[in-house]
C-alpha cells in the first residue's frame, strides 16, 4: 500500500458531469493523483429511485477504496450525494467530500437579495438535501428549487448548445427566473456545461454558481488537515474509467475536461460492494 500522501483521490459521477469537479481539482491540486469513475453504463441517476442510486454510489465508492486504495473520495454527483453521503461517510474507511455543502456555501456568499435558486435532477430536488443545507447555512435565504429533467441527457450526448436544449431551458427555468433570484446554483455537476444556455435564459443580472471550485477548496482543506497532501514536486497522474462505452467516454470526455483525459479504461461493478 502506498503511503498516505502518495495515494490517489477518488471521484465518481453518473457520467461526464463530475469532470467539472475533476477539472477544478486538477487545477487546484496538480500534484495529486486522481481516479475518476463515470458510471455512463447506468446514467442517468436523476430519475432513478433513491435506493438504487445509493446502491450504485456504494459500489463505486467501495471500488475506489478496494481497487485503487484512494485516500479520500469526492462524490462529484449531486444526485448520489443527496441520497448516499451520510451512509458513505459512516461506512467508508476514508473521508468523503460532497458537492452539496460547498455549493450552498458559494451560493450564500454570492447572493445580495437573499433570493436564490437551485436547479438539479429530479432525484436531487426531491431528496430535499439542498433545502435542508440552505436552511442550515442561512435561514434567511428564500430558495426556489427546480428540477430540470432532460438537461443531463443533452450533456451526455455532447449537445451543449443549440435550439433544442435552448427551448427546454426556457421551459424548465421559468420558475427560478420568475422568482427574481439573483444567484442560481447549478446543483448538478453536468450543468456547468450548459452555462451558456442557462445564462441566456436567466439574463445578465443572475450569477450562476457552480460547486466545482468550492468542492476543490474543501478537498484541499481536508487533505491539509489530514496531513495527506502529495509532495509539491510530484506530477499528478489521472486515471479515468467508465462503465459504458469507453471510446465515447474518452472522446467526449477530452472535449469537456481537456487533454488530461488521454485515455479511459473499462470499469465494471462486479464484486465491489461491501
Ligand atoms: N452529475 C449528476 C448530478 O450532479 C447527474 C445525475 C444524473 O445522472 O442524472 O446530479
- What is the three-class DSSP state of 256? helix
Query: If you write DSSP's letter for every residue of 131-198 in order, what string do you get?
Result: HHHHHHH-TT-EEEEEE-TTHHHHHHTT--SSHHHHHHHHHHTHHHHHTT-SEEEE-STTGGGGHHHH
Other beta carbons within 10 Å of 230: 21
Atom of ligand 1 nearest to the CA of 46: 9
Q: What is the mean pLDDT of the chain?
A: 95
CATH class, 101-211 region: alpha beta
Distance CA 168, CA 137 (A): 31
Atom of ligand 1 nearest to the CA of 77: 4
C-alpha distances in Å from residue 59, one per residue of 56, 92, 97: 5, 11, 17
Average pLDDT on 193-210 reads 97
Q: What is the pLDDT of residue 271?
A: 47
pLDDT, tens digit (0-9, with 9 covering 90-100), for 20-78: 999 999 999 999 999 999 999 999 999 999 999 999 999 999 999 999 999 999 999 99
Distance CA 58, CA 36 (A): 15
- Hey, where are the domains in the chain? 9-98+213-266, 101-211
**What is the whole-number distance in angstroms between the Cα of residue 188 and the centre of ligand 1?**
5
- What is the three-class DSSP state of 58? helix
> Among 179, 200, 49, 43, which residue's Cα sits nearest to residue 118?
179
Examine domains 9-98+213-266 and 101-211 and report if their fold is the same.
yes
Distance CA 191, CA 77 (A): 11
Q: What is the pLDDT of residue 2?
A: 56
- The phi, psi pair for 158, rounded to 5°, reads 80, 15
Q: Taking each helix axis from N to C terminus, what angle separates 100-110 and 212-225, rounded to the nearest 10 degrees?
A: 120
Q: What is the pLDDT of residue 3?
A: 60
**What is the whole-number distance in angstroms between the Cα of residue 132 and the centre of ligand 1?**
19
Average pLDDT on 245-274 reads 85
Mutate to test the pocket of ligand 1, among 11, 17, 100, 244 (most ligand atoms within 8 A of CB): 17
Which residues make Cβ contacts (< 8 Å) with residue 77, sequence separation at least 6?
Answer: 12, 13, 14, 17, 18, 45, 57, 99, 189
C-alpha cell at 101: 455543502
Q: Half-sphere exposure (CA, 13 Å, Cβ side) for 93?
A: 9
Q: Is the CB of 152 under 6 A from ligand 1?
A: yes
Q: Which fold has domain 9-98+213-266?
A: Rossmann fold (3.40.50)
**What is the whole-number distance in angstroms between the Cα of residue 227 and the centre of ligand 1?**
31
Q: What is the pLDDT of residue 232?
A: 85
| Pairing outcome for strands 207-210 and 115-120 | unpaired
Atom of ligand 1 nearest to the CA of 14: 8
Provide the annotated active-site residues: 77, 188
Q: Is the CB of 190 under 6 A from ligand 1?
A: yes
Q: Is the CB of 188 under 6 A from ligand 1?
A: yes
Amino acid at each position: 500500500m502506498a503511503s498516505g500522501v502518495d495515494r490517489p483521490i477518488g471521484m465518481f459521477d453518473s457520467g461526464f458531469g463530475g469532470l467539472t469537479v475533476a477539472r477544478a481539482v486538477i487545477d487546484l491540486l496538480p500534484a495529486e493523483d486522481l481516479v475518476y469513475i463515470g458510471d455512463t453504463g447506468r446514467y442517468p441517476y436523476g430519475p432513478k429511485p433513491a435506493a438504487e442510486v445509493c446502491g450504485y454510489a456504494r459500489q463505486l465508492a467501495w471500488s475506489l477504496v478496494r481497487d485503487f486504495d484512494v485516500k479520500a473520495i469526492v462524490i462529484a454527483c449531486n444526485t448520489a450525494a443527496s441520497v448516499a453521503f451520510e451512509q458513505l461517510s459512516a461506512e467508508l474507511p476514508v473521508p468523503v467530500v460532497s458537492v452539496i455543502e460547498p455549493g450552498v456555501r458559494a451560493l450564500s456568499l454570492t447572493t445580495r437579495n437573499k433570493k436564490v435558486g437551485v436547479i438539479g435532477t429530479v432525484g436531487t430536488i426531491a431528496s430535499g438535501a439542498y433545502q435542508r443545507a440552505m436552511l442550515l447555512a442561512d435561514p434567511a435565504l428564500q430558495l426556489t428549487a427546480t428540477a430540470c429533467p432532460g438537461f443531463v441527457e443533452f450533456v451526455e450526448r455532447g449537445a451543449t448548445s443549440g435550439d433544442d436544449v435552448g427551448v427546454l431551458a426556457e421551459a424548465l427555468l421559468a420558475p427560478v427566473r420568475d422568482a427574481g433570484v439573483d444567484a442560481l446554483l447549478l446543483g448538478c455537476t453536468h450543468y456547468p456545461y450548459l452555462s451558456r444556455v442557462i445564462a441566456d435564459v436567466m439574463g445578465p443580472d443572475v450569477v450562476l454558481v457552480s460547486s466545482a471550485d468550492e468542492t476543490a477548496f474543501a478537498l484541499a482543506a481536508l487533505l491539509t488537515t489530514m496531513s495527506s497532501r502529495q509532495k509539491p514536486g510530484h506530477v499528478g497522474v489521472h486515471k479515468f474509467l467508465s462503465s459504458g462505452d469507453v471510446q465515447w467516454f474518452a472522446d467526449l470526455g477530452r472535449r469537456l475536461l481537456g487533454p488530461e483525459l488521454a485515455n479511459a479504461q473499462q470499469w465494471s461493478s462486479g464484486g465491489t460492494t461491501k
